[in-house]
Structure 1
Amino acid sequence: MIVTNPWLAGPSPTKRLERNRLEERILNLLSSQNMCVLATAGPDGPLATPVRFFHLDFTLVFTAKRSSPKMRNILADPRVSVGIFAPLVGQASSRGAQLFGSASLLDPDDEDFHRYWPVVRWQSDHVERSASLDDPPLGTIGVIPADRIVYTEHWLRKDGYAPRQFWRRQPQVS
Structure 2
Amino acid sequence: MAPQTFPWLSGPTPTRRLDRPLLEERILHLLSSQNMCVLATMGADGPLATPVRYYPLGFAVLFTAAPRSPKMRNIAADPRVSVGIFAPLVGLASSRGAQVFGTARVLGPDDPDRERWWPAFRWENEHAERGLSLSEPPADTLVVVEAERIVYTEHWLRRDGFAPRQFWHRRPAG
Which letter maps to 1:31?
A: S
Aligned 1:1-174 pairs, distance under 5 A: 1-173=2-174
**Count of paired positions:** 173
- Contact kept in structure 2, 1:108 and 1:114, CA below 8 Å: no
SS class of match (1:128):
helix
CA distance in 1, matches of 2:129, 2:77: 34
CA distance in 2, matches of 1:79, 1:55: 18
Distance 2:12 2:21 in 1: 26
CA RMSD of aligned residues (A): 0.8
Q: TM-score, normalised by structure 2?
A: 0.97
Q: Distance in 2 between matches of 1:158 and 1:119?
A: 34
**Residues 81 and 99 of structure 1 are in contact (CA less than 8 Å); yes or no, is this contact kept in structure 2?**
yes
Q: Which runs of 4+ in 1 moved over 6 A?
A: none
How big is the shift at 1:128? 2.2
Deviations 1:115-146 (A, max 9, x none): 11111111122122222210221210111010
Supply the distance in 1 between the matched residues of 2:144 and 2:104 (Cα, whole angstroms).
5
Output the TM-score relative to the length of structure 1: 0.97
Amino acid at match of 2:44: P
Note the residue ranges of structure 1 that are not aligned, 5 or more in a row.
Answer: none
Q: Which structure 2 segments of 5+ residues have no match?
A: none
